[in-house]
Amino acid sequence: MTGQSSVMFLLRGLILIALLLTGVIMQATEVSDAMLEEFASEATEDFTAEAGLTTWITPQPNGRSCESCHGESLFATGSHYKTGELIEPMAPSVNPERLTERRKINKWFLRNCKWTYGRECTAQEKGDILLWLSQQ
Amino acid sequence: MQKQVSKTQQTIGAAILSAVLLFGVGGVIVYGVENEVAYQPDELYVEECGACHYAYPAGLLPASSWQGIMRGLEDHFEDNAETDEETATYITNYLVENALRPGQNPKWSVLLRNMPSDPPLRIVELPGFLQSHESELELIEGLDMGMDFFSPCEDCHRQAEQGLFDKELLPGGYGPTSR
């Protein structure tokens, strides 16, 4: 192999890897994007990251908030308020597995909204939170 | 330089070699046997339940208790642990099939002692559990921790994830790990 062709070979490899990586990242946003669209059809206002943040951090009259278990930083590990079981960071930028599975997103919205607010979250709340989370 | 190996040396050498081989082969056999009965919990069960707490082995609670727990996931010891119906049915079946019952796992049969006809929902409330943790119950008396002290099995039984609760494996001292 000549010097030039091996450089080309390496370049092609790098481009391929970059494409594959983009594909993985694209998938992550595809799931949350699709869900955002669905929530939007049931919501009254446009989703905003600010509203998502507010919903996430505001303690309820029972003292509970998302931070009770997820901690104060989305980029750090949280822990279950009662059992101490560790909870991986929520931010997709440090934990690429987040927001990639529809089933999980729905499951945890159901469980955690009921625990925190004593009711299911509205499409508006879920959309705001999901938008904010997906940007982290 | 050549040296004649004496008969005694030969015997010693042979003895050492046999011992090594014996231990090696023995180890492999024992390892194999242990692996055969190794505890392997269901993956979905661990994913769903183990996200919030130690995924208690199915064989630590009788079937009726598991059914009771799975019927009340909306208020799961003051937590919400709801899951979709398909998942719930799958997990219920897994737990019931592998539940605590005579002959299921001889190591855990101690939990069957004095089982009431209407078993409690919590492992820590089984008479067999209380009996086998009598000295620990005495230890925590006055600690104001209540029975929650016992909930994370893995704090003392460090190999609980592998389904190992043998007394011999207990570390010195008791209490929550450094989390």
Q: Which residues contact B106 (CB under 8 A, 6 or more apart)?
A: none
Q: Give residues 91 to 150 of B whose Cβ lies within 8 Å of A.
A: none
**Å between A19 CA and nearest CA of chain B:** 31
Please state which of the ranges A26-35, A67-76, B21-30, B162-171 shows the lowest mean pLDDT. Answer: B21-30
Determine the residue type at B73. Answer: L
- Which residues on A lie below 8 Å from B83 (Cβ)? 107, 111
CA gap A62, A96 in Å, rounded? 32
pLDDT band for B179, please (50, 70, 90 cuts): very low
Chain centroid to Cα A36, Å, comes to 12
pLDDT band for A68, please (50, 70, 90 cuts): very high
- Which residues on B lie below 8 Å from A90 (Cβ)? none
Check CB contact under 8 Å for A80 and B80: no
- Domains of chain A and CATH, by start: 3-134 (1.10.760.10)
- Which residues on B lie below 8 Å from A111 (Cβ)? 80-83
Q: Which residues contact A87 (CB under 8 A, 6 or more apart)?
A: A69, A70, A71, A77, A78, A79, A80, B51
- A45 pLDDT more than 60: yes
pLDDT band for A27, please (50, 70, 90 cuts): very low
B40-87 pLDDT per residue, tens: 999 999 999 999 999 999 999 999 999 999 999 999 998 999 999 999
**Å between A22 CA and nearest CA of chain B:** 28
- A87 pLDDT more than 80: yes
